[in-house]
Structure 1
Amino acid sequence: MGFFKAEDTISGQEARAYITIEGRNEELFYAKKIESKVEKQKTEIKTLGRRGTQNKAAGWKGTGTLTVYYATTLFRELMLKYMKEGKDVYFDITVTNEDPTSGLGKQTVVLKNCNLDEVSMTAFDVDSEVLEEDMSFTFEDVDILNAFNKPVLG
Structure 2
Amino acid sequence: MGFFKAEDTIGGQEARGYITIEGRNEELFYAKKIEAKVEKQKSEIKTLGKRGTQNRAIGWKGTGTLTVYYATSLFRELMLKYMKEGKDVYFDITVINEDPTSSLGRQTVVLKNCNLDEVSMAAFDVDSEVLEEEMAFTFEDVDLLNKFNKPILG
TM-score range, shorter chain: over 0.9
1:1-154 matched pairs, under 5 angstroms: 1-154=1-154
Distance in 1, matches of 2:107 and 2:149, equals 9
Distance between the aligned counterparts of 1:115 and 1:2, measured in 2? 43
SS state at 1:83 partner: helix
Matching residue's letter, 1:3: F
Q: Percent identity?
A: 89
Off by >6 Å, runs of 4+ in structure 1: none
Q: What is the TM-score when the length of structure 2 is the normalising length?
A: 1.00
Post-superposition shift, 1:137? 0.1
Alignment deviations for residues 56-110 of structure 1 (CA, whole Å, 9 cap, x no partner): 0000000000000000000000000000000000000000000000000000000
Whichever residue aligns with residue 63 of structure 1, its letter is T
Paired positions, count: 154
Partner Cα separation in structure 2 for residue 53 and residue 72 of structure 1 = 49
RMSD: 0.3
- Whole-angstrom CA distance in 1 between matches of 2:138 and 2:64: 6
**Structure 1 alignment gaps of length 5 or more:** none
Cα deviation for residue 49 of structure 1 reads 1.0
Q: Deviation digits for residues 10-42 of structure 1, max 9, x if unmatched?
A: 000000000000000000000000000000000
Structure 2 distance, partners of 1:49, 1:109, is: 43
